Structure 1
Amino acid sequence: MKCIVGLGNPGKKYEQTRHNVGFMVIDELARQNQWSLNQTKFRGVYTTEHVNGEKVLLLKPQTYMNLSGESLRAFMDYFDIELDDVLVVYDDLDLPPGKNRLRKKGGHGGHNGIRNIIEQLGTKEFKRLRIGVGRPSVPMSVIDYVLGTFDKDQQTAVKDSIQHAVKACEAWIDQPFNEVMNEFNAK
């Protein structure tokens, strides 16, 4: 079983914001595989699919970013998902747009969605796919920045980054995470 969770905020207002790049990856993964996130429960929207005999669950928590862990915890409990079978996809200010990084564990780095997941799961040891959104080039609050949309000069890099992330997620369905990290972190 593999569970891929994209973080973001629900609603049209946040759809194309930097903070919603985790949702964008899940949406693109679903689109490319002709899957539909048409089930609603656990304070999230999700789908259950099968790929080469592997059960694959996609989840987009609808709790708003700061409470993402509550949706994930309920989802994991219901489906009896092991921590080792979870991959969390989210935005990262410390990576430039167009850069992704897979990791096996880590801190929250100031990301409130990840902070809540760590609190809910009781551990920092879960797989992550960090999608670079960069830092503001002009003085502005981090909140305003992540809730803003990508600049025109960032859009191509972000689209490429999302495609790269989708390929990494698909690779993880069939391959050990270490192999996926070695392959996709090198690109």
Structure 2
Amino acid sequence: MKAIIGLGNPGPTYRSTRHNVGWFVLDVLAKRWSAGASVTARHSQVARLVIDGEQVFLVRPQTFMNDSGKAVRALIERDGLGVDEILVIYDDLDLAAGRIRVRPSGSAGGHRGILSIQQHLRELARTTPRIRASAARLEASVAGDAGGAVPSPSPVVEGGSPRVAAMAPAQGRGGGATGGISRLLSRVTSRTGKGEQSGAVARSDETVPFARIKVGIGRPPSGMDAIEFVLGSFTPDDLSLVSGAVDRAADAATDWVREGVRVTMNRHNGSEPPRGAPPVTVADAGGRVVGVDRQTLPPHRP
């Protein structure tokens, strides 16, 4: 059993926003693999599907972005999942629109949803041997070591090995990537007081052991606030780039279920966006773009 978790904010106000691109990927997976009806459980909407005999949960936290870790923790505790059995998909401001990146771990990179998950997993690891054991399995799988030992740094992982401070809580007092949750530098505060507003602005150097797929949404235009940008709706021009990334992220998520994070990284990181026909967008009654029907990029122009 595995879980693919798409980060986003619940409700029609946020349905079409850049911050909810993880949910777009879940839409594609649900359609491809004929997912069952969603049910509300563990602070999330959860749908079940089967990929090559493997039961997979599609999880949409309903806690708002800043509290995503609460939903992920509840899922792990109730269903007995390890950190090597979850995949998180989310938007990335620092990745060009149309690109994806698969990682076995990493820092929050300014994303409060990821920071929340890191914090909750770190707390779990202090008291739950199963979480520490699954973290070791994840590192071993990245290094290609079936024996389960914690590996030395692997060249597959950009920026060094996927260090897991939560595996050894006593070491969490230090600084740097091998220490505990590093000092959080918050640059902005929520506009409305809800948890959804600051998913793109926290800062942490902590690395935690869970696989993720980043979907690039690009940087905001000059003069636009980052929060305003991520909470803005996709335009048709945006979708001509991002919809291709959504489709490839769904491909990568499927490969993760089948073959694990190491193979998925090698297959999908650094690949060029494919050429193709313009995407077919889905609009609501008011004409606002709310999703994608066919995820392909427009024809390449040299």
Q: Normalising to structure 1: TM-score of the pair?
A: 0.96
- Contact in 2 for aligned 1:2/1:85 (Cα 8 Å): yes
Per the alignment, in what secondary structure is the counterpart of residue 84 of structure 1?
A: helix
Unmatched 5+ residue regions in structure 1? none
1:19-51, Cα deviation, whole Å (9 max, x unpaired): 000111111110122213411111110122332
Equivalent residues of 1:37, 1:58 under 8 A apart: no
8 Å contact kept, 2:33–2:51: no
Structure 2 residue aligned with 1:17:
17
Q: What is the aligned counterpart of 1:147 among 214, 225, 231?
A: 231
- Relative to the length of structure 2, the TM-score reads 0.60
Equivalent residue for 2:245, pick from 148, 157, 161: 161
1:39-118 maps to which residues of 2 (within 5 A)? 39-118=39-118
Assess if the C-alpha contact under 8 Å between 1:37 and 1:45 holds in 2: no
Contact residue 38 and residue 48 of structure 2 kept, 8 A: no
Partner of 1:2 in structure 2?
2
Query: Counterparts in 2 of 1:112-151, with a 5 A limit?
Result: 112-122=112-122, 123=166, 124-151=208-235
8 Å contact from structure 1 (residues 8, 60) kept in 2: yes
More strand by proportion, 1 or 2? 1
> Using the alignment, how far apart are the partners of 2:103 and 2:10 within structure 1?
26
Instruction: Calculate the aligned-residue CA RMSD, in Å.
Output: 1.2
1:125, distance to aligned residue in structure 2 (A): 1.6
Superposition deviation, residue 186 in structure 1: 3.0
Supply the AA of the counterpart residue of 1:90: Y
Q: What amino acid sits opposite 1:151 in the alignment?
A: T
Report which of the two structures shows the higher radius of gyration computed on alpha carbons: 2
1:35 paired residue number = 35
The 2-side partners of 1:37 and 1:74 are apart by 20
Structure 2: segments with no counterpart, 5+ residues = 123-165, 167-207, 272-302
Partners of 1:176 and 1:109 in 2: how far apart? 23
Say which structure, 1 or 2, has more relative contact order (CA 8 Å, 6+ apart): 1
Counterpart of 2:100, as a letter, is N
Distance 1:99 1:53 in 2: 29
**Runs ≥4 residues deviating over 3 A:** none
State the alpha-carbon separation in 2 of the partners of residues 37 and 139 from structure 1.
Answer: 42
Identity over aligned pairs, percent: 40
CA distance in 1 between partners of 2:18 and 2:37 (Å) = 21
Deviation larger for 95-104 or 49-58? 49-58
Change (3 A) 1:186 1:37: farther
